[in-house]
Amino acid sequence: MFAVVEIGGIQLEVQKKAVVKVPLLKGEPGDSLEFKNLLAGGDDKSTKIGTPYITGSVKAKILEHGKDDKILVFHKKKSKGQRKLNGHRQRFTKIEITDIKLSAPRKKKSEQLAQVEEGE
């Protein structure tokens, strides 16, 4: 089973027991998290694609926090001879996917309203 989940502004394809690095999240190592922004998901038999999301959740456990390698940013203005070197290390959280649960695609509000009006 797999799911495409949106975490911290990026989209990742994850599977159960996968270990992934995501942008820094709140929490301590050992804490559990639940993500509900699922864009797609499925298994070998069928795949569900959301418009924009599907219902379900992905549960994960925080393993550690850390910093990536240094990224160097060099600024230069050739006519003036100005040079400036900046850099930073992006912080991340390493998580392990513990569980994936999927259900039917979420209905649009217009479809929900139509069903309510028909039922009255």
pLDDT by residue (tens digit) across 66-91? 999 999 999 999 999 999 999 999 99
pLDDT at 120 over 90: no
Neighbours of 33 (CB within 10 A): 17
Query: pLDDT tens for residues 4-36?
Result: 999 989 999 999 999 999 999 999 999 999 999
56-67 tens-digit pLDDT: 999 999 999 999
Could you state, in order of their start, the residue ranges of all structural domains in the chain? Answer: 2-119
In angstroms, rounded to a whole number, what is the distance separating the alpha carbons of residues 8 and 12?
Answer: 10
